[in-house]
Structure 1
Amino acid sequence: MKKKLINQRSTRLLYGCLLAFTSFCVTSYASSPLELQQTQQPITGTVTDAQGVVPGVTVLVKDKASGTLTDENGKFSIVATANDVLVFSYMGYKTVEITVANQTAIYLQLEEDTTQLKEVVLNAGYYSVKDRERTGSISRITAKDIETQPVTNVLATMQGRMAGVSITQTSGVPGSGFDIQIRGRNSLRADGNNPLYIVDGMPLGTESLGNSSFLSGLILPGSGVNSLSILNPADIESIEVLKDADATAIYGSRGANGVVLITTKKAKSGKTTLILNSFSGVGSISRRLDLMNTEQYLNMRRQAFANDGITTYPASAHDINGNWDENRYTDWQKELIGNTSLHRQVDASLSVGNEFTNLLLKVTNYNETSVFHGDFEYGKTAFQFSGNHQSSNKKLNMGLSIQYVIDKNDLPGTDLTLDAINLAPNAPALYDAEGNLNWENSTFVNPLRKIKEEYLAKSNFFNAGGTISYALLPNLELKTMAGFSSTRLNETKISPSTIYNPAFGLDSSVSILLQNEGYQQSWSLEPQMHWKKDFGKSALSVLVGSTFQERNFGSRAIEAMGFTSNSLIYNMAAAANIAIYNNDNSIYRYNAVFGRVNYNLHEKYIINLTGRRDGSSRFGPGKQFANFGAIGAAWLFGKERLIRERLSVVSFGKLRASYGSTGSDQIGNYQFLDTFSSTGIPYQGSIGLEPTRLFNPDFSWEINKKFETAIDLGLWNDRIFITTAYFRNRSSNQLVGIPLPGTTGFTSILSNFPAEVENSGIELEWHSKNIETINFSWSSSFNVTFPKNELISFPDLERSTYANQYVVGEPLNIRLVYHYTGMNPETGFYEFEDYNNDGFIRPGDDRKKHIDLTPSYFGGLQNSLRYKKWHFDFLFQFTKQLAPNFNTYKSMPGLAVNQSVDVMTGTQPYSAGFNSQATSAYTFYRTSDAAFTDASFIRLKNIALSYAFQTRNGWGCKVYMQGQNVLTFTNYKGLDPENYSGSKIPPLRVFTLGTQLTF
């Protein structure tokens, strides 16, 4: 609750300034002589609340045109007569009236009015709406939630805090990306489920600029090198997520998978304020595998050879044939990924302004080292500017927001996590006596060779969004939103000859330089008209607008090799051979008209109509335009007399519902055209072309029809607020690759397919003010989502190439696996169900067991406690799910690969690879239901403890401690239950200490 009040103070302060100025003018120039002759006296005082002084409180003399507002210390001064009544008002607090009488000093503590919190205004994109009057589903977090988290990605701040929003971190590497799904997976295509991101009104392109197919094996490409991962979380004021049709249909095709509205911090009226903030901390991997020690490992290896009937160890078995020290032990998880990363951030912001013009300038610098063995670093420097201006007659309003971020990521060429869990515990030292990489007489493949493959990603992000509006008539406002965005990436990877064993005798002629350049640049223009009119007990508002957008996207990948010296490896001109793998440029154009009509009767019955006609360059002639729309309705039944009189415990009640359609054009550019690419083979002096895509002008938009019904309930003066929602989304007209006969020369053609996917579920949100006293308060927030995903229909699925991927009636996120039935009592090897009873285990016939990886439920529990000047916040994130365990990425027990201690019991006989029956059984085992396990977890995601006070000279000071990924409670058999990948480093556990000064 308090966070909303804080956000409202700046607005009330501006209004208070305007009111005080107006009152001064009226008092000075319009007061009658009789009024001036009355006996007046100066009244001073201080206004506080349960947490301290309250600046910006409006203090008025009732029924008179005079007033003031409290300053930054909560103090006020006003002139009044003994018979006057002073009125103290502030958004979110109960209004208080005090008769002056013979008082000359008034000290007042305001009480929070929880019913006013529903007056909080939410950003719905093209319009704003009061929380109590919204008909759509909107979730929100603010800067207070964001600033308690030492993270570098905007999406990380949202984890566990929003119902219906599932966010998964893909890796613990700094700068890595996140996967987000808003109310489930709608499209069969993995790249067709991304939501629309809008930063200060500017649509943000989230295409990955990294060339994952070219720079294969790298940590970052394909996992989130885009504008969103570069954006600075410290610059964010609020994030709103639009989920249902009523909230998203006004965005048409772009809102099929939800909309994420990101609002950056803006300048606020008031005195000039300088804020300096700095924190530093440490990070480490949050989970480790319990691996075998040297004795356990060697016993496994010896038993494996014995089981295979091998009595003499082969020359390649260096771990047990005497080449390596059998008494040596190295904890490779500690050695390769066990470093302590250092985190540091410094930021400063300066805000100046008055009742007409406000400016904000903010600078942030962030640095983070790596947990990998070696000297690696990630850095981000962000500049932010915002300004707004209002004319003296309040008719003209202008705003501008600019963000510029420079991002630099210096990483090893490959994640060392897999090496850390696979290396034999008695493997040799990494360096020899001279400090060079140790190859142990050519018996050891040193994992640090990968560190010599240096990877560097440099990117910059620029985003500017501006608005200008003019009140042409009292009820008519013309508004234009414009924006420009640019993201550029330059990534390089070198593979010098030094990554190879010197015994091979290779020189710099085999050294390779890989370079990728990617960019995304877009602009948007949206003229709008807003009209609203009150008709006594009803109100009508109308919005009409249009969108013009263009986005340019390009990349170029180059490979250079044959250098005369490794010292020249970054100089492409020094290479003997240069090959350009791709040089792509594309343009996406989008145009739309949209509208909204909102009708409010008696402030109890609300209907909201939204519509949009979209045009996209991604479809062929005749298919480029489509219509989308939605209807939303709300009934504020808490205002009915029967509820007020008979159920006084109900302080607020609203029943709302919505239905509508949105679409999707997330298929990439030029997919409907027949395209060609270079063969790379010269013929008669020219390079030939070959067809790569067939022409298909008939495919068009995916359609997503959304339905939701929900109830919002406030109890006991809103001390408890509950929202329960049921949603059902159906996505059809799927854009997928349709298989073609081999005689066509193509395996498939992109086309619409009548497959239908349904996402449904229940969302529950709970907010409560548990305790509220002068010295102590405790509030809680809880959210949980029960999702269900189902493939409703897929004609001729059995005969398609998707037969081994999807099943009608099952979720999209399933795995078709073998059913493990146990170990053969005679041989001891794994056995599996023979579904067709033909005596053999075959991939097509017997891989029939369905494993659903869709979470059964997920959510979060947040608590905020205050004791005097101490504040303590913590968030638990939880998920109930199944996931692949370490068996899916670990080699067969008995090979020269370290194993989890779990394989010491309950496993088939070890094999060194010389028993084909054992190898075959384990191959099936890795892709059976035995390789999946419960990956449910409860994670103490975030903690924040702070102490705020004022110095003797009036400076504000806050000292704080923060933690991220603090504790994880799980029975998962693997590195991390969140991303369940054995080849990627798990999310880091980070602790920081910081100080914030306000002048």
Structure 2
Amino acid sequence: MNKFSFYNGGSAFWYLIIFGFSLSYTPALGNKLLRQMQSLPQQTQISGTITDGTSPLPGVTISIKGKATTGTISDFNGQYTLAASPDDTLVFSFMGFKTVTETINGRKTINIQLKEDTTQLQEVKINAGYYSVKESERTGSISKITAKDIEKQPVTNVLAAMQGRMAGVSITQTTGVPGGGFDIQIRGLNSVRSNGNNPLYIIDGVPYATDPIGSGQASPVLPGQPSPLNSINPEQIESIEVLKDADATAIYGSRGANGVVLITTKKGRRGGTQFTANVSKGVGSVTRFMDLLNTPQYLAMREQAFANDGISPLPDQAYDVNGTWDRSRYTDWQETLLGNTSEITTLSSSISGGSAGTQYLASGSFNKQTTVFPGDFNYKKANFNLNVNHESENKRFRSIFTVGYTIQHNLQPRDDLMTSALALAPNAPALYQADGSLNWENSTWINPLSSLEGEYEAKTYDLIANSVLSYQISKNFEIKSNFGYTSTDNNETAALPSTQYDPAYGVGASYSALKVGTMSRKSWIIEPQLNYKEQFGKMGLDVLAGSSFQSQEGKMRDDLGQGFSSNSLIYNLAAASVKSILLSQEQEYRYAALFGRINLNWNGKYIVNLTGRRDGSSRFGPGKRFASFGAVGGAWLFSREDVLKDSKILSFGKIRASYGVTGSDQIGDYQYLDTYGSTGSNYGGIIGLEPTRLFNPAFGWETNRKLEAAVEAGFLNDRIFITAGYYKNRSSNQLAGMPLPGTTGFFSIQSNLAATVENKGLELTLRTVNVQTQDFNWTSNLNITVSRNKLVAFPDLESSTYKNIYSIGEPLNIKKVYQFTGVDPATGLYTFADRDGDGKITFSGDRTLVKDFNPKFFGGFQNSFRYKKLQLDFLFQFVKQENYNATAFFAPAGMLSQQPTTVLDSWKQPGDIASHQMYTTGANGEAANAASRYASSDAAISDASYIRLKNISLSYDLPLQLKDMRCKVFVEGQNLLTFTEYAGADPEFKSAGYLPPLRVLSVGLQITF
């Protein structure tokens, strides 16, 4: 007789069931039940591993066909286990890959390799900030890169990972010194203020202030202040989305004028515990050196310069040519001062896993970079990140918690040695004496290593925390709130010890000085939101309403200490005999907003998206603090029309357009108020105050009107996918200084200029799947942006202080220069066009030729190859532009300064036809003036277009026999090759006197188990 056991027996319910069964039981019924039970298929455990041909795929859904309630998900190792019958059919599905069905046929182990499906990519969710939308149904312009692209680059700044990969996004590196920054422009320059063009950065839903850290007084080695974005570890980023048009950015209102960069960090996933470790070692070097004069060429130039100037005999101070310095000596100062190899070490690890309800990810990293300069200088960064996601059993309550903490320590020489490397004479003295001390060569030169006696040191501590709580009140209604907090603290010191001076001067420690800069910035944000979704037949409705409350407080102070009793005490400000405050300020910023979105979707074909925002900012005066912004976007998915939906050629087609108004309050705090500063004068023990800014209650918002139209089309099952877009943006009501007459005692008053700036352009992206087989895949991505920037209007420009900077109808990023007309064969001097026809060359009348420094077009071409377990990716970045050439880096030819070899073609006697004028030591006034004008003419500007192998990555998954372990080796490179006709230091680089970006090559190992 069969025995039955019941969970928690004794229940009256089960007694009734047993009693009823015993009353109705008969032998015939028992035999029938037994036959039915024997006929049921027996359940067995099916297991296996799912890969993409290269690595395991976690998160793949495995279900049994026809049994909707049965299924599982692959873990981090791509492994799964599922109970099924021998004749069941398994269905393997994963976003971005083709669905696979596999009949069990009595097997217990089934391994699956999924193939990418570009058509599925249209269903991927795109982060639009306050909401997400399917790629196929977005009405706005959003560019995206994922961890798949980011983690293959040996970079420490997130902006470096974006270079060349997004249409409409131009990024240039400002220095090759570790910890330096980047300039980013999303669809051009909108503001006449250089610091008014930064985009809004959102990290895991938290606005992150990208205002420069500190005032810059204590960071001379960097062209500007340290980049705050160094606090984000690229390895911990899951995706970066850039919002560009009005439809995408208007929901951010006053902060979306220059675009929005959404950074999402990696999250935990369901599955068994997985540990991943990475270690890499790399080297960095200057991409290339300039061709400079050797010693005989240099000495011949100098001697000719003295002869041209009629100076004989040679003066005592002409140490390089009069025999004081060894005339046979040669030093390649670029190699000596910039030719070291930077060593880069990166260590990182993460642990992740979780159940269906709770997932976690904890990661940490450490990076250290030395420099190409002589000496033991380095940049170190340590980072920790934690993410915990939770979902209740009924799936109504969800929470996301993310926190990241970064510590940076940057120790650099006080000055960048780039200037010295290009200026020192090739026969300048040796750096060291025989005893190892600095060589001052009898006080005949300033040893370039003397600046290494002082150090620039910066310590930065950065915290970003975010929590999102949501509750599904009903099927269609959700309430959610976002909570964020950021904290950034920075301490900088720049030391100028007396040991940097020639000992012959008898300078003691009392001449030592120390600059100290401290900065602290804290902010919090709360954003409650409501979301309602409903389907009315063919009409889909998605409504979002929310509010935003933000507060930011900042403190900044710069101190100067002078006169120390000993150089050993120089890093202690309290030990200075004279202390002064260079800058001291506190800032407070309050921001509040209401925002909303209504999305209408008819039958998946016709989509209308309405967004709006009402903003309030403390940065404006009474009556001007609130403003409204909004946009409308629409899309028509014409490929879903009946006449096209079965097309074998066109697999996807969409036309979208948008128009709206966004704004900007990037002007700094208290700009509309009367402010006062210290006079620095002590009168009767009291330091006086003086007015520094005038009150302007009419100071209001800057506005940006954006228009866009685009078409997206996929062919042959989206194996060829094209996006082409046109945009036109106009920024007006410019936040800038209104010029004032000098009699007022002020140069300007903060106001809204009635100036209008226009940006328009074309963006094209092309994605192709060239080859797709089981063992070999090849995909390509191309993006090109053609952009134009123009100052449309500027009332009374010619009578303002901006007249020498801007011109109506010309771009903002221009230089007004002299028009070079060649070298006069009779006089040997540079000549220039008399553009105003007054018979003489003047600054105001003839320095009027406009040269545009904006790129004419730019883009990137990326390719990805996979053969079995071998993966190769590379990216070529290209830019068509003009830039200052080598002339910008050098003094006039003939002076005590190194020169490029191009100056060898110089005028020497009447009748000579040459590209360069006569050499001069500076004593010839006419020649010196002509040389100065030459450096400010179009002759100093040339084509700086380039094609650069920006990034390359080669990886191989080792064929280990260990079931739960993966091992990958990789080689990565950055800035490896550059093809250009540019004669300067680096075509990308625009800051003369600073170290250009480095070439980096790195090898590493990744282990996962």
Considering only aligned residues, what root-mean-square deviation do their CA atoms show, in Å? 1.7
Going from structure 1 to structure 2, the CA distance change for 1:871 and 1:325 (only over 3 Å counts) comes to same
Alignment of 1:530-609 (within 5 A): 530-609=531-610
Q: Note the C-alpha offset of 1:472.
A: 1.0
Which residue in the other structure is 1:897 paired with?
Answer: 897
Secondary structure of 1:729's aligned partner? strand
Residue aligning to 2:260: 259
Q: Secondary structure at the match of 1:473?
A: coil
> Which amino acid in the other structure matches residue 443 of structure 2?
S
- How do 1:755-770 residues align onto structure 2 when only pairs under 5 Å count? 755-770=755-770
Matched residue type, 2:65: K
Q: Deviations over 1:810-832 (max 9, x none)?
A: 11111111101111121121100
What residue in structure 2 maps to residue 88 of structure 1?
92
One-letter amino acid matched to 2:823: M
Measured in 2, the distance between the counterparts of 1:506 and 1:100 equals 87
Q: CA deviation at 1:91?
A: 2.6
Corresponding position of 2:946:
937
Letter in 1 for 2:927: A
Report if the CA contact (8 A) 2:429-2:441 is conserved. yes
The match for 1:328 is: 329
User: Residue 294 of structure 2 corresponds to which residue in structure 1?
Assistant: 293
TM-score normalized by structure 2? Answer: 0.93
Question: Match of 1:164?
Answer: 168
> Does the aligned pair in 1 maintain the 2:54–2:957 contact within 8 Å?
no
**Structure 2: distance between partners of 1:613 and 1:922:** 55
Task: Indicate the structure (1 or 2) with the bigger Cα radius of gyration.
Answer: 2
TM-score by length of 1: 0.94
Q: Contact 1:818–1:929 (CA<8 Å) still a contact in 2? A: yes
Shift of 1:119: 0.9
Query: C-alpha deviations, 1:521-576, integer Å up to 9, x for none?
Result: 11111000011011222210100000000111111111111111111112222221
Find the counterpart in structure 1 of residue 857 from structure 2.
857
User: For residues 45 and 384 of structure 1, what CA distance do their matches in structure 2 show?
Assistant: 33
SS of aligned partner of 2:136:
helix
Structure 2 vs 1, CA of residues 38 and 811 (structure 1 numbering), >3 Å: closer, same or farther?
A: same
SS in 2 for 1:544: strand
CA deviation vs aligned residue, 1:697-728 (integer Å, no higher than 9, x gap) = 10100000001100111110000111001000
Partner of 2:401: 400
User: What is the distance in 2 between the residues matched to 1:118 and 1:413?
Assistant: 51
SS in 2 for 1:556: strand
Residue equivalent to 2:221: 219
Q: How does 1:715-754 map to 2 (within 5 A)?
A: 715-754=715-754
Amino acid of the structure 2 residue aligned with 1:975: A
From the superposition, tell whether residues 63 and 418 of structure 1 become closer, same or farther in structure 2 (CA, over 3 Å): same
Q: Distance in 2 between matches of 1:841 and 1:210?
A: 42
CA offsets, 1:16-67, max 9 Å, x none? xxxxxxxxxxxxxxxx996885233537464555446555443333333433
Q: Which residue of 1 aligns with 2:875?
A: 875
Q: How many residues align?
A: 964
**Rounded Cα–Cα distance in structure 1 between residues aligned with 2:737 and 2:765:** 39
Structure 1 residues 484 and 72: alpha-carbon distance in aligned structure 2, compared to 1, 3 A threshold: closer
SS in 2 for 1:563: coil
3-state SS of 1:973 partner: coil
Q: Which residue of 2 aligns with 1:125?
A: 129
Residue number among 931, 938, 943 corresponding to 1:922 in the alignment = 931
- Cα pair distance change 1:157/1:111, threshold 3 Å: closer
User: 2:992 pairs with 982, 986, 995, which one?
Assistant: 982
CA contact (8 A) 1:178 1:223 kept: no
**Structure 2 residues not aligned, in runs of 5+:** 1-32, 906-914
Could you give the per-residue CA deviations for residues 431-479 of structure 1, whole angstroms, max 9, x where no partner exists? 1111111110111111111111211111111000110000111111110
Write the letter of the residue equivalent to 1:951.
L
Say which SS state the counterpart of residue 420 (structure 2) adopts.
helix
CA distance 1:354–1:44, change in 2 (3 Å): closer
Deviations along 1:891-935, one digit per CA (max 9) or x if unpaired, are: 110001010001111211111122111111111111011010000
Relative to structure 1, is the Cα distance of residues 886 and 507 closer, same or farther in structure 2, using a 3 angstrom cutoff?
same
Contiguous gaps of at least 5 residues in structure 1: 1-31
Cα distance, 1:103–1:904 mapped onto 2, change above 3 Å: same
- The offset of 1:210, in angstroms, is 2.5
Amino acid at match of 2:174: T
Question: Secondary structure in 1 aligned to 2:903?
Answer: helix
Match of 1:116 in 2: 120
Counterpart position of 1:696: 696
- Give 1:835's aligned residue: 835
CA contact 2:806–2:812 (8 Å) conserved in 1: yes
Question: Which residue of the partner structure matches residue 22 of structure 1?
Answer: none
Measured after TM superposition, the shift of residue 101 of structure 1 is: 6.1
Encode CA deviations 1:486-532: one digit per residue, 9 max, x unaligned.
Answer: 11110001111111111111111111111110111111110000110
Deviation of 1:879 after TM superposition, in Å, equals: 0.3
Measured at CA, do residues 433 and 747 of structure 1 come closer, stay the same or move farther in structure 2, by a change above 3 Å?
Answer: same
The residue identity in structure 2 corresponding to 1:908 is: Q
AA aligned to 1:452 is E
Residue pair 1:604, 1:636 contacting (<8 A) in 2 also: yes
State which drifts further: 516-525 or 72-81: 72-81
Contact residue 414 and residue 455 of structure 2 kept, 8 A:
yes
Deviations 1:68-107 (A, max 9, x none): 4455665655555566444333333333445556667656
| Partner deviation per Cα, 1:862-894 (whole Å, 9 max, x = no partner) | 111111111011111110001111212311100
Measure, in 2, the Cα distance between the counterparts of 1:715 and 1:500: 69
Contact 1:209 1:555 in 2 (8 A): no
Kept in 2, the 8 Å contact 1:464–1:483? The answer is: yes
AA aligned to 1:94 is: K
Deviation at 1:796, TM superposition (A): 1.4
Equivalent position SS for 1:296: helix
Secondary structure at 1:125 match in 2: coil
Instruction: Check if 1:58 corresponds to 2:68.
Output: no
Amino acid at match of 2:62: V
How much does 1:293 deviate? 0.6
Match in the other structure for 1:13:
none
Q: How does 1:445-594 map to 2 (within 5 A)?
A: 445-594=446-595
Report the AA paired with residue 997 of structure 2: P
* TM-fit CA distance, 1:648: 2.5
Contact persistence 1:885–1:980 (CA under 8 A): no
Task: Indicate the larger mover: 840-849 or 885-894.
Answer: 885-894
618-627 or 352-361, which moves further after superposition? 352-361
Q: Is the 8 A contact 1:734 1:754 kept in 2?
A: yes
CA distance in 2, matches of 1:159, 1:694: 41
Asked whether the 8 Å contact 1:780–1:864 carries over to 2, the reply is yes
Partner of 1:663: 663
Is this contact kept in 2: 1:881–1:935, CA < 8 A?
yes
Q: Secondary structure at the match of 1:157?
A: helix
Distance in 2 of aligned mates of 1:521 and 1:855:
37
Name the CA distance, whole Å, in 2 between partners of 1:292 and 1:456.
Answer: 35
Aligned equivalents of 2:496, 2:251: Cα separation in 1? 49
Amino acid at match of 1:752: N
In 2, Cα distance between the equivalents of 1:159 and 1:529? 36
| Structure-1 residue corresponding to 2:705 | 705
The code of the aligned residue for 1:114 comes to T
Q: Which residue is equivalent to 1:345?
A: 346
Distance (Å, rounded) in 1 between the aligned partners of 2:574 and 2:295: 49
Distance 1:292 1:125 in 2: 55
Q: In structure 1, which of residues 970, 984, 997 is the aligned counterpart of residue 980 of structure 2?
A: 970
Match of 1:14 in 2: none
The answer for the alignment partner of 1:825 in structure 2 is 825
- Determine if the alignment matches structure 1 residue 946 to structure 2 residue 949: no
How far apart are the structure 2 equivalents of 1:561 and 1:685? 21
Residue 94 and residue 873 in structure 1: after superposition, are their counterparts in 2 closer, same or farther (change >3 A)? closer
> Match of 1:413, as an amino acid?
R
Q: Secondary structure in 2 aligned to 1:136?
A: coil
Letter in 1 for 2:587: S
CA spacing shift, 1:166–1:48, aligned 2, 3 Å:
closer
Q: Answer with 931-940 or 308-317: which moved more.
A: 308-317
Counterparts of residues 137-148 of structure 1 (less than 5 Å): 137-148=141-152
Deviations 1:253-312 (A, max 9, x none): 000000000111111111100101000011101121110010110011111111112221
**Paired residue type of 2:151:** E
CA contact (8 A) 2:74 2:271 kept: no
Distance 1:970 1:870 in 2: 31
Name the counterpart of 1:150: 154
Compare 944-953 and 647-656 and name the one that shifted more.
Answer: 944-953
Instruction: Please give the alpha-carbon distance, in whole angstroms, between the structure 2 residues aligned to 1:196 and 1:257.
Output: 7
Q: Secondary structure of the residue that 1:229 maps to in structure 2?
A: helix
